[in-house]
A = this chain, B = another copy of it.
Amino acid sequence: MTERHLLLRTLAGEQTERPPVWFMRQAGRYLPDYMKIKDKYSFFERVQNPDLAREITIMPVDQMGVDAAILFSDILVIAQSLGLQVDMIPGKGPVIETARTDAEVAALNVDATQDFFKYATPAIKSVKEGLNNRVPLIGFAGSPWTLLCYMVQGQGSKDFGEAKKFIINEPVRARLMLEKITDATIQYLKIQINAGCDVLQIFDSWGGILSPKMYSEFSLPYIERIVKSVKDEVPVILFAKGAWYALKELEATGAAALGLSWTTPASFAKKICKPETVFQGNLDPSILLAKPDAVALATKNMIDSFGSKRHIVNLGHGVLPQTSVDSAKAFVDTAKAYRY
């Protein structure tokens, strides 16, 4: 029974014998068998083809022994569903058709969401069938602010200066864009729930580059609306990278757990939030570049820092592509051997 899974028990606030473990970007990137699939199929073929999505999503469950699967996909599918071209350029990252003018923002088409995501239901059902209830399946989406970053900047960036310039110079247009992204995201997450996802995670990957004041205006309200729309159906994990200053507000959304960056210590999060809050995280992904014994020690110390329950072991951001399987395994094994 899905209800008995360690991750779901932890998200429900139950005392467990050890913390569950999974890690962001666990499907793909650093796994040799994934690299072979990557050489043969385009990124969006891997996302949309049910057999490939199934194989890639389940790979870390089989090979690493994690306690949850996370659907193989990308946050940028929402930019696609709204009508923008997205290309994954090897060695460069994503290139996104931009939406900045009044006409371009007006053209973003929320009505296309159901049709665009018709691939998602068979893909998710195929994953669920392959998992055969061994571990729960996490679905996900990016936060509206994080999507806007890419849709305005057109590519990855250190500072997303164009995106910030846009929201400051054109706040009305920015809010319309954020509303549209929010509407499409809620529809997409409901599709994920209906197809069988047991948990949802919202990635506010670029939340932490905003000042607290701008965060409260341009990111938080849209996350709130998303969480409120789905939290009664499945538990939601909210991960706002670097947004330590907004933990109290993020908790108030009703998310079942808050993901923490590695720069946000457990001691700080516990002081800010209610005693019943579940935290997820927060080993620095760069530590997984070190030797397995150093990884094991750092992982144990990190789990210790959270205390005896209400904790999902994870990294403080996605696993780095150059991570060795042995070091990633040391991370997972340490969590699985841990006993409260």
Contact = CB atoms under 8 A, between A and B. Distances in A.
A25 interface: no
Contact of A294 (B168, B210, B242, B264): B168
Contacts of A264: 245
A45 interface: no
Contact of A287 (B164, B208, B265): B164
Interface stretch (A65-73, A102-110, A134-142, A153-161): A153-161
A300 B212 CA distance: 16
B161 A286 contact: yes
Interface in A252-292: 262-265, 268, 284-287, 289-291
A169 interface: yes
B164 A214 contact: no
A168 B290 contact: yes
Contact of A286 (B165, B245, B268, B289): B165
B289 A165 contact: yes
Given A211-B265, A244-B244, A322 B161 contact: yes
Given A158-B158, A287-B168, A320-B159, A212 B263 contact: yes
A265 B291 CA distance: 37
A211 B290 contact: no
A265 B245 contact: yes
A174 B287 CA distance: 15
A37 interface: no
Nearest to A168: B290
B294 A263 contact: no
Nearest to A298: B168
Given A159-B285, A159-B286, A214-B284, A263 B209 contact: yes
Given A169-B291, A208-B263, A212-B263, A164 B284 contact: yes
Interface of A: 158-162, 164-165, 168-169, 208-214, 242, 244-245, 262-265, 268, 284-287, 289-291, 294, 298, 301, 316, 320, 322
